[in-house]
Structure 1
Amino acid sequence: MVNSSVQTCVKPVALPIIFVPGIMGSRLREKQHGEIVWEPQDSFFGNAYGLAWAGAKKKRRLMIGAPDSGYSPDYLEVDPGQVDDFLSQERIDRGWGGLMQGSYASFMAWLENMAETPAAGQVPRGCFNLHYEVWAHPYNWTDDNLNSGKALGETVAKAVAETTQKYRDTDVQVLKPVIVTHSMGGLVARAYTQIHGGASDVHGVIHGALPSDGAPAAYKRIVAGFEGGGIRGTIERHVLGANQQEATATAGNMPGVLELLPNQTHKSVDGSTKWLFATGHDGSRLWAKPEANPYGEIYRNEQDWWRLIVKEYLNPEGDSGAAFKQFLTSLKDAAKFHAQLGPSAFHPNTRMFYANGSGHPAFDHIEWKQTAQEDVIPTDAERNNDGRGTLEWGQWHTYATPYGAQTTFLAETRYEIQPADAPGDGTVHAGSGKYVSGPMSEPLTNGFEHQAAFDSTEARRLTARWLFDMVEEQL
């Protein structure tokens, strides 16, 4: 809606926009030798070096490094891409080539071109010469979002400087930039504006599908692998892991992923702060966590069967003790990062949208349900873990058949993770937008799928409106 106090744009204006993608939304290469490690454009499996077909050992070697090495933020870096029919040299220079094109190319092109034919009445009167200068900030999404946020400041400064230079000899007024984010990119932007002091350098921030206080899906995907069946499945499943062994070897070592875990202020859609629980075979609630601190009760836990990390899976070819020690250090950093952000650390001029539909259910809690005979685990039982969210306790039995001896596991107790059932986008649940403190937050009841958030007609309509608002606010 146009502010009636603003009658006209006294001169043409240009708005730098910096887009920050979500996890796996940036192309990555091994820094020392330049070999591509994560290439989302290379076939539907998304990797030239066989991540889709690799087991836990090879996945870890490709994504984390040699078996005798721990995680290092200097192991991977963004690959900037190459000029092609879509990516001009100017777009490469603006960071577009480092993005996952399948998810973001359409949105970036729309963002760049939509100002040329604005809808009647949406742009301040007289602003028929409005320029959107669109940049991208691809980043090493395995790394601490605090580091990625610091680097975002460099991209913002470059976007402003080059936009100013572009219009230096014209009468175009260059406005303060606006940041647009998707998913984990929102944590990167919040780190930049609220921790690194960048808030005064940008006019506003627009978040889409932001896991504001983390997402229980992160726990589920480390413990039981990523969702998606069939040969195509999901990119995350093929790259980061289809089961606990693979996902722990990759995601369990990545500081960026650990910062997606539910933090101390997380709330489910119903407002509950307890998001991990077990139910008995009769449906009764046996326990619910966290009681106070998810880091100590769930993430650092080394004993209970529902713990986040099986330390032997962190480095299947190396020193599991050293790997777990580094995990604890990364987790400590994640807890500090979460505490610095808290529930209200947003840029003062923030808009965000989130999915509140039922078409793509998400985990707002994790329920381990008992589906065998006994709720209590037998003291003399052996454990059987399928790595996909089913744990059994019982005994192995060998019996004779016409084809020879066969062995099977007979479970006395079985706990299984139940399917997601909260409104959301398949990854981030609606509570992530419902309970945020600070932004102007709008639910999209038609919903959208998480990775394709900005392909939603409703999401683009809101983004366009908010950008026009932020232009008008600066006139």
Structure 2
Amino acid sequence: MANEPHFPGFKLPTHPTLKKSRETQGFFTPVEDLIAQVHSVLPMRVLPIIFLPGIMGSNLRMTAERQKQMGRKANIAWRPDSIAEAERLLRGNAAMRQTQLDPQTTEVDVYDPLRNPTGDVNETADTRHDVIKVKHNLPLEVGINSPLLMDDPITARPRKSKAQKARERGWGEVFYKSYQTILEMCEQRLNTAFSGGKLDSWWTNIVNVPPIEWQAHSQPNLSPLDESALRKAVTNCWFPVHAMGYNWLESNRRSGIRVAERINHLIRQYQDQGFRCEKVIIVTHSMGGLVARALIHPKIGNMNEKVLGVVHGVMPAIGAGAAYKRMRCGFEDPGLVSLSPIASVTAKVLGNFGPEVTAVLGNAPGGLELLPSQAYGNNWLRVTHRGKTLKSLPKNADPYEEIYKLRGKWFGLLREEWINPAETEFGSSFENTCAHLDQAKAFHNEIACTYHDNSFAHYGADLKRAAWHKVVWDIAGDAEIANVEALKIVSDDGQGSLCLIAPGVQPSSCAAGPKFMARMQGPCDAGDQTVPLHSAEHQLQSGKFRGVFRQSGYEHQDSYKDDRALRSTLYSLVQIAQRMTWAE
């Protein structure tokens, strides 16, 4: 594998389940064919890489009851790789989104070819996880070819394609278009670093390259990775890459517990196959970082001793002002900011209007945990008029009580009439959302200081990719405002434009009486268009990270398509792997 001798010939797929990879399946050729068939034998040591995606990055399916209620042929609740499904949600109203994306009736759409839990008798698990519906059916293409992920010979029984093998590792349960690059790069590069004793040429992008090239922060100071350190980290070990989706509508606390169960099962599975598997390495994107912190917390997932280290990518460590903005004003119009096609699809599907987003996230504990937490600090929500700040909140470092649970205040988080457009009898109400907010507050306080000792992070610190640290409502007009808190909403377009009236003025006389137009201001703080540097920087300020990369040039959802993010991740993974001490 990573340090295998180089033999000319046709490489055969490696099967971990066949006598600890000591057995493989070849094929007959004509006697004139003298090309050797090469069998790669896996090392006995296994160090799995576990990828945890961000919010909206895990595919979800709905219960049979909810599928029947919605009159659907199949049980897909969320699958952003499918343009057909995305278009269905785009056409749907807020009530439809609330019904389809209900944390009580959804679960991760895992690959299960034995039971085929697709909700459609004509659709197999392989079809569900193999199809990306752009306009026509196109197969999920694994763009690498290695002994671990290679099509079996046509003579093999049973015969699996490399895409099926990737699906068994969870690659089909995450937003594949967004995460394919990081999954493939980790799988390929960590397992083929050396061949015939020589360093693979790709690694010259990392070996002996100063980490400052990927915008490493000076504290702590990071040294270049040398070839001997890489060789030591990968020799006699293989690194299978797994993706583990989670229900991003549920609380991250619950997701941490469920991911812990899956990792424990995975470790036992490798051990049952005869390999030495003791720990895993976690790589996260965005909200996946919160799940990872729950995963290692002693009172939640309690997996700290089984996790060798964590690489956090673009994590909203203490929340993000964008969560407030999007629940009030919808996701950003891709025409206003340079969102990628992938980012624009996910943004549009969840909602370009506040009522659409609130109908989903207002009922989703996981989504509410992306709001700025108490650690975010004071005075980030502001009301301005003629260049002056009339009000700023929170004052007492408790946005849950001072902003989110406010009732009857035009600048509060929740428009009550937006919470339950489906008019469900149970589970959706202002009071229910407040209960979720209490849980979010407790969760953030619980994980506030929880970071793995062997952690690295990368995140956006780019003024050209501005994000909302401060969220500002600006009131236009020259008229004096006697009491900004007492203003009432007459109209709200759901995209950040409000008509407000002074107390005592009847809405019907808005045109004649004093009125004020308030507009949500654009982002103006460094970040990645979603997570502000202010939040991500909590990782650096914690003093617990072995390396931090403050980067520029990428948008939040697309971060793992950026060369600097990818290379800093591979660098970090090797640094983590070097600290593995195997039990004898």
Shorter-chain TM-score: which interval?
0.7 to 0.9
Structure 2: gaps of 5 or more residues? 1-42, 68-73, 112-127, 131-138, 143-161, 194-199, 208-225
1:70-469 matches, cutoff 5 A: 72=104, 74-80=105-111, 81-83=128-130, 84=139, 85-86=141-142, 88-115=163-190, 116-117=192-193, 119=203, 120=207, 121-122=226-227, 123-125=229-231, 127-128=234-235, 130-166=237-273, 168=275, 174=277, 176-194=279-297, 195-229=300-334, 234-267=344-377, 273-281=378-386, 283-292=387-396, 293-318=398-423, 323-342=429-448, 344-374=449-479, 376=481, 383-394=490-501, 412-436=515-539, 437=542, 438-440=544-546, 442-469=548-575
- State the identity %: 30
- The 3 A distance-change label for structure 1 pair 348 and 314 is same
Query: Which region of structure 1 is more displaced relative to structure 2, 182-191 or 384-393?
Result: 384-393
Paired residues of 1:433 and 1:443 also in contact (CA < 8 A): no
User: What is the rounded CA distance, in whole Å, between the counterparts of 1:259 and 1:108 in structure 2?
Assistant: 26
- The 3 A distance-change label for structure 1 pair 75 and 345 is same
- Give the AA of the match of 1:418: Q
Q: Which residue of 2 aligns with 1:404?
A: none
User: What is the rounded CA distance, in whole Å, between the counterparts of 2:355 and 2:61 in structure 1?
Assistant: 24
The Cα RMSD (Å) is 2.8
Q: Secondary structure at the match of 1:372?
A: coil
User: What is the rounded CA distance, in whole Å, between the counterparts of 1:284 and 1:20 in structure 2?
Assistant: 43
Query: Which region of structure 1 is more displaced relative to structure 2, 222-231 or 177-186?
Result: 222-231
- The 3 A distance-change label for structure 1 pair 297 and 181 is same
Q: Secondary structure at the match of 2:250?
A: coil
Paired residues of 1:23 and 1:141 also in contact (CA < 8 A): yes
Q: Secondary structure at the match of 1:360?
A: strand
- Give the AA of the match of 2:370: L
Aligned residues: 437
User: What is the rounded CA distance, in whole Å, between the counterparts of 2:334 and 2:307 in structure 1?
Assistant: 42
Paired residues of 1:277 and 1:287 also in contact (CA < 8 A): yes
- Give the AA of the match of 1:238: K
Q: What is the Cα deviation at residue 201 of structure 1?
A: 1.2
User: What is the rounded CA distance, in whole Å, between the counterparts of 2:253 and 2:556 in structure 1?
Assistant: 23
Q: Secondary structure at the match of 1:203?
A: strand
Q: Secondary structure at the match of 2:517?
A: strand
Paired residues of 1:356 and 1:443 also in contact (CA < 8 A): no
Q: Which residue of 1 aligns with 2:218?
A: none
Counterpart of 1:26 (choices 58, 74, 84) is 58
Paired residues of 1:26 and 1:141 also in contact (CA < 8 A): yes
Q: Secondary structure at the match of 2:296?
A: helix
Q: What is the Cα deviation at residue 60 of structure 1?
A: 1.5
User: What is the rounded CA distance, in whole Å, between the counterparts of 1:130 and 1:332 in structure 2?
Assistant: 44
- The 3 A distance-change label for structure 1 pair 202 and 382 is closer
Paired residues of 1:280 and 1:375 also in contact (CA < 8 A): no
Q: Larger C-alpha radius of gyration, 1 or 2?
A: 2
User: What is the rounded CA distance, in whole Å, between the counterparts of 2:334 and 2:247 in structure 1?
Assistant: 27
Q: Secondary structure at the match of 2:266?
A: helix
Does 2:76 align with 1:36? Answer: yes
Structure 1: gaps of 5 or more residues? 1-10, 65-70, 268-272, 399-406
User: What is the rounded CA distance, in whole Å, between the counterparts of 1:375 and 1:255 in structure 2?
Assistant: 40
- The 3 A distance-change label for structure 1 pair 440 and 125 is closer
User: What is the rounded CA distance, in whole Å, between the counterparts of 1:313 and 1:78 in structure 2?
Assistant: 28
Query: Which region of structure 1 is more displaced relative to structure 2, 307-316 or 28-37?
Result: 28-37
Counterpart of 1:17 (choices 49, 52, 74) is 49
- Give the AA of the match of 1:191: A
TM-score (norm: length of structure 2)? 0.69
Q: Which residue of 1 aligns with 2:133?
A: none
Q: What is the Cα deviation at residue 157 of structure 1?
A: 1.7
- Give the AA of the match of 2:59: R
- Cα deviation code 1:440-462 (max 9, x no counterpart): 45243333210011111111111
- The 3 A distance-change label for structure 1 pair 439 and 27 is same
Q: Secondary structure at the match of 2:529?
A: coil
Paired residues of 2:278 and 2:306 also in contact (CA < 8 A): no
